[in-house]
Amino acid sequence: MNNMPVTNVMATLADNRCTPEFVASLYRAGMRGVRINSAHVTPEIIKKMVSVVRSVSRDIAILMDTKGAELRTTATPDNRPFNLETGSVVEIVSSPDRLPDSSVICLNAAMLGSSVAEGTTVFIDDGEIELTVEKSLPDKLLARVTKPGVLGSRKTVNFRGVEINALPAVTYRDKICIEAGIEAGIDIIAHSFVRSKEDVMAVRQLIDGTPITLISKIECRPAVINLDDILEASDGLLCARGDLGAEVGIEHVPAIEMEVIKRCRKAGKPVIVATQFLQTMFTEQTPTRAEAGDIASAVMQGADTLLLCGETAQGNHPRKCVEWMHSIINATLAYRDNGTLI
């Protein structure tokens, strides 16, 4: 265990919470890195958020996600969420400029059409909402809601077992966000929905000559299949368990997480694990024992960083989430390195 890393806490920042006071409170609680999700902010906001974080401490590592080859829903009217009810049939269409409602879900990319078979499961927002495709037409899909939920703006969309090869590795939006990140002085880029080493190299060209660390997010089936090549081309990996579970099935996520960490440790490259570590703390002030065990497991496997996502971006108790994760990590490290139990 002597060569195992000390695991750090990283927290996702939302632009409406990115104030010096908020960042400082997380930093005092044990947070040592922040994540900015470029899918939800403009290049100008990226620069402002980086400036706020740097004003608190220059020791805080700043990671920015790209959007990558990712399907998302469009913005809702006035960014207000709406309900999708069990049993209702909705259209899924490609219309980036159209406003969705309870009868139409709009995607940000080209329509998949007949490439999506009837019976395909559709996961929205990391599986918070589920639908089943009942009819596949050239210009739209008809799908029935099987797991109801509240649909907000720009949520992830996954079609189980369908590879979206037509999506570009780096979008125009990715390019301008990367330029903004370079100008602002971010430390890490985490490229989303990497499918091959070629996807990694497309980003590498854009950051050539900068000190930015390039992390590839493992969150789709092709990434798992091409794991070795992607790791070789990257500076490190991020196991993004939310989209990964929607893409390959939740039952496969623990084994993939362990394999991603193991291969990064063998290669001597950093590894981040993300998503739903403290999901219940969106509303509750203490974690479950299972969540504590999940955090401890990642520490024991050798993860360099554990990333809080919605818990700090949107949840009710962001500082407590950092405190609890930091405390669980420290207790686990005490056991791992010294055998200390209590």
Cα(154)–Cα(146) distance, rounded to whole angstroms?
20
Rounded Cα distance between 131 and 92, Å, is 10
Residue 86, beta-bridge partner list: none
User: What is the radius of gyration, based on Cα positions, of the chain?
Assistant: 20
Q: What is the pLDDT of residue 167?
A: 74
Which of the residues 32, 67, 72, 265 is marked catalytic?
72
- Which pTM does this prediction carry? 0.86
Q: What are the backbone dihedrals phi and psi of residue 128, each rounded to the nearest 5 degrees, phi first?
A: -65, -30
Instruction: Please give the average per-residue pLDDT across 211-239, as a whole number.
Output: 97
Pick 172 or 230 by higher pLDDT.
230
Active site residue 28: no
Other CB atoms within a 10 A radius of the CB of residue 259 amount to: 15
Give residue 115's identity as a one-letter amino acid code: S
Residue 89 pLDDT class (50, 70, 90 cuts): very high
Q: What is the DSSP string of 3-19?
A: TPPPPEEEEEE-GGG--
Is the pLDDT at 113 greater than 80? The verdict is: no
Catalytic residue (choose from 7, 32, 35, 160): 35
pLDDT the model gives residue 40:
84
DSSP code of 118? T
Each residue's pLDDT tens digit, 178-197: 999 999 999 999 999 999 99
Locate 53 and state its tokens.
């974080």
Minimal CA–CA distance to 168: which of 138, 134, 196, 208? Answer: 196
- β 121-124/129-137 pair status: antiparallel
Q: What is the pLDDT of residue 234?
A: 98
Instruction: Name the catalytic one among 217, 241, 265, 320.
Output: 217
Residue 204 is among the residues annotated as catalytic for this protein? no
Give the separation between CA 79 and CA 280, rounded to whole angstroms.
24
Question: Is 217 strand, coil or helix?
Answer: strand
| Cβ count near 287 (within 10 Å) | 23
- CA 228 – CA 232 distance, rounded (Å): 6
Torsion sign over Cα 283, 284, 286, 289: negative
Q: Per the residue annotation, which of 275, 305, 312, 332 is the catalytic one?
A: 275
Q: Which whole number is the average pLDDT over 17-30? A: 98
Is residue 59 classed as helix, strand or coil in its secondary structure?
Answer: coil
